[in-house]
Amino acid sequence: MARESVRDDTKNVEEIGLKGAMKRPLRITMMGAGSGFTEHLMKDVALIPGSQGGEIWLVDIDPERLAIAEKLVNWVLDGVGKSDVWTVKATTDRREALPGSHYIVNCIEVSGLGCVRHDNDIPAKYGVDQCIGDTIGPGGLFKGLRTIPVFLDMLRDAEELCPRAIVLNYTNPMSMMCLAAQRVSRMQVVGLCHSVQGTSHHLAHWAGVPSEEMVWECAGVNHLAWFTKLEHNGADLYPVLMEKAREEGGPFWEADPVRCDMMLHFGAFITESSGHLSEYLPYYRKRPEVLKRYCRDGYLGGSSFYADCWPGWRKACDERRIKVAAGEETMELKRSWEYASWIIEGREKNQPVVIYGNVANRGGLIENLDHEGCVEVACVINQNGVQPTRFGRLPEQMAAICRSNMSMFDLAAKAAVERSKQAAIYAMMLDPLVAAVCTPDEAQRMTLELFDAEAEFLPGYK
């Protein structure tokens, strides 16, 4: 399906409420049920109209966090009045949960808090300044090296126990995870993020138009997808946004300095927030004066932000979930714009909807990106599952930025699949942020130091 016909034949999930009943009870397996995503994604599933319910299996290797998740999901089902049609089961053994599953939602976290400081502090010694560091850069690379082997083991079990299930992956590093899966697994895997939906609302706000009336096209790679078309009532919205972005220090610029600067110089807005985006590029994190101009505290680019805050966030999230499950706090029981439940509903009701997913670029969905890579494009959902649509060609300057990341992802996936330290070194040397500040020798020494520090969570690498 050509991109021009996507909106003619289907509707975006935020514009619709699918009608009709689902034809069967479902078995949904939630991997990494200790994740903060669990209650929100399972709430969305429970709020699907016309559902026949079924079984929700929660899987986590941490019994305490699993018990919290079980109580919380049961609380959610009671709150939305669906505890009579859904049954919740919890296990630490994924092979108990997988047989007969129709959908697998993957939210695993390998190593927990064990490597957060290593991922940040060792690269900092070599001059690599990270804000988030979990999808690209040294932190993203090593998160992938730890996580991908576990994910592939899970997919092998799924091939045996539920080969027709659709795997909905939320775990980062998204591009590396999906790329490795498409190389070695027969399972249908789609990577899901909320950066496209979130950015579309963000742009509608700054353009001063209702988000539901904005027409747009977006494509690229995860966290680096470009809004190549942005219109309202047939009028191009970019002149308005460009004018606001040129006011350096103005409200739009201060809300998103890196994305504004990239839009001004490359011609379109990108899906990931400024602080995280700065790690995907070689421009913004290599000199103190550049950091001062383009980066701000917190999510807008603060140094070591994720490493400093993640332990506290995790603790606060667990405490909140315990209180909600005990009835001491409430949560909003409203369906979100996360794509998982819309994929399930669209497929089960055979009513086409459009989501943006991370999928294999087979056949050149984006013509001028690696046809063996992983891209983020519009996908149509119906009874046949996830069907990516063909975008065509990205403007060459945008494609080149994507390719700079895809080369790193390619070698990172190879390193994780083959357990190869040498491939990991190559990936590190090609990382845009590392290449901006390190020599090849420094990149190699940093990689090997990270392998030594995180050896407990990196079995089998040679």
Identify whether the C-beta of residue 335 lies closer than 8 Å to the C-beta of residue 16: no
Q: Which residue in 103, 170, 238, 280 is the catalytic one?
A: 280
Q: Which residue in 194, 283, 299, 371 is the catalytic one?
A: 194
* 3-state SS record for the chain: CEHHHHHHHCEEHHHCCCCCCCCCCEEEEEECCCCCCHHHHHHHHHCCCCCCCEEEEEECCCHHHHHHHHHHHHHHHHHCCCCCCEEEEEECCHHHHCCCCCEEEECCCCCCCCCHHHHHHHHHHCCCCCCCCCCCHHHHHHHHHHHHHHHHHHHHHHHHHCCCCEEEECCCCHHHHHHHHHHHCCCEEEECCCHHHHHHHHHHHHHCCCHHHEEEEEEEECCEEEEEEEEECCEECHHHHHHHHCCCCCHHHHHCHHHHHHHHHHCCEECCCHHHHHHHCCCCCCCHHHHHHHCCCHHHCCCCHHHHHHHHHHHHHHHHHHHHHCCCCCCCCCCCCCCHHHHHHHHHHCCCEEEEEEEECCCCCECCCCCCCEEEEEEEEECCEEEECECECCCHHHHHHHHHHHHHHHHHHHHHHHCCHHHHHHHHHHCHHHHHHCCHHHHHHHHHHHHHHCHHHCCCCC
Please confirm, yes or no, whether 102 is among the known catalytic residues.
no
Please confirm, yes or no, whether 280 is among the known catalytic residues.
yes
> Cα–Cα distance between 299 and 308 in angstroms, integer?
12
Residues identified as active-site: 194, 280
